[in-house]
Structure 1
Amino acid sequence: MTKRIYACLWFNGNAHEAATFYCSVFRQSAIMDKNNMVTTFEINGTRFMALNGGPHFTFSEAISFVVDCETQEEIDYYWDKLTADGGRESMCGWLQDKYGVSWQIVPSILPKLLSDPAKSQKVVQAFMKMKKFDIAVLENV
């Protein structure tokens, strides 16, 4: 296969606005092309298409984008940016942005913490009570 696979996000008339928002949140991003129907953009080298498809379909938590964060500052940054202006917090690092797209803002240390047999159950119990992940709490259970 010579072509990349990329996600198409269906919006109700505000595809370019959403793409512009995502490019403002993620530092290594850019609008690649736009017209009245479609805006293509990249975030950290990953291409997305934002489609003005109309009101027929909406987003659900069945599909989400994972943001792997090295520090608490990164978690706080993405959490605050993506929940701003009508976004909605959920549990265990999940949120929906103001357009209804689901995101998981996850500490990159989580797999390591979960692989420690002595701590994994306590780590799970701790993050099941969290909305936004707190790395210090997870490391110190």
Structure 2
Amino acid sequence: MNKNIYPCIWFNGRGSEAGKYYAETFDRAKVTHDSGMVVTWEAADCTFMLLDAGPNFKPNFSISFMVMCETAEELDRYWARLSKDGKIMMELAKYPWSEKYGWLEDQFGVSWQLYLGAGAPQKFVPTLMFTGVNNGKCVEAMEYYTRVFPNSKIDGVMKYEEGGDDTPGNVAHAQFYINDYMLMGMDSSMDHGVQFDEGISIVVTTKDQEETDYYWNTFTSEGEESMCGWLKDRYGISWQITPARLLELMADPDREKAGRVMQAMMKMRKIIIADLEAAYAEA
């Protein structure tokens, strides 16, 4: 699994609270960083970033997180915790695809699908729902992403048949990898009233300017630029293209130098590493 790709969830004043909540909810989970604005927590070699950035956006279930549970007891523990003060979207029950499965939205508005299935290669899997203007585009999107990223593949696609619960040919469930990081996808013809937005984004940590330029230029060629390394791709999914060097400079214990780097980054669309280095080195 590639640990340089991970989801980021937008919060409004409750990021630190949510980080502690998830660390207490999931087995062997822990908060690894909390600056107030940025919180990260990890479990089972998976990383989540929580961005406490105000009321502009909030997560919705166009991107949910599949949790692959080893035992029914594990699944029941997570369900009891996450469903408290949350909202049930699909009741916890036996389904054709799993002996035990349920879908819920927790108290922070983050959606989780709990699935009983031992031996999964990745514990937490971002799951993309292609609905509304994107309905029917799941296969197209998977083919696109697996072209953009190296070490990528589509690992399985199950489609709706005639008489099924959705449009025949739409994807009921699929999984794919981008640079060895697993995601899942589905189509939905229902009017859910949600779309991909900045409420949940995907961070790609890049090794150098060449890799940063590649992802930025590829995605924005049919998408939309934003600020501070953020962009939207052709489907409206938000990505943060973040050079590893930016993270290193901003973590410097010299707060004056780190502050100059932050100020330089805030003025950028695509991140330019040389300009960050120049800001860092200012006398």
Q: TM-score, normalised by structure 1?
A: 0.70
Taking the aligned partners of 2:70 and 2:87, their CA distance within structure 1 comes to 23
Question: Which stretches of structure 1, 4 residues or more, deviate above 6 A after TM superposition?
Answer: none
Unpaired segments of 5 or more residues in structure 1? Answer: 110-123, 126-141
* Between structures 1 and 2, the one with greater strand share: 2
1:96 equivalenced with 2:105 (yes/no)? yes
Q: TM-score, normalised by structure 2?
A: 0.36
Matches within 5 A, 1:1-141: 4-84=4-84, 86-91=85-90, 93-108=102-117
Compared CA separation, residues 107 and 3, structure 1 to 2 (3 A)? closer
User: Structure 1 vs Structure 2: percent identity of aligned residues?
Assistant: 42
Q: How many residues align?
A: 109
Taking the aligned partners of 2:19 and 2:115, their CA distance within structure 1 comes to 22
Any idea what the Cα deviations from partners look like across 1:21-74, whole Å, max 9, x if unmatched? 000011211111111211111121111111111111111111111111233222
* Superposition RMSD in Å: 2.1
Unpaired segments of 5 or more residues in structure 2? Answer: 92-101, 119-163, 166-283
Larger Rg: 2
**Residue type of the partner of 2:115?**
V
Taking the aligned partners of 2:14 and 2:67, their CA distance within structure 1 comes to 23
Taking the aligned partners of 1:47 and 1:71, their CA distance within structure 2 comes to 22
**Residue type of the partner of 1:61?**
F
Taking the aligned partners of 2:73 and 2:48, their CA distance within structure 1 comes to 26
* Partner SS state of residue 58, structure 1: coil
Higher-RCO chain (CA-CA 8 Å, sequence separation at least 6): 1
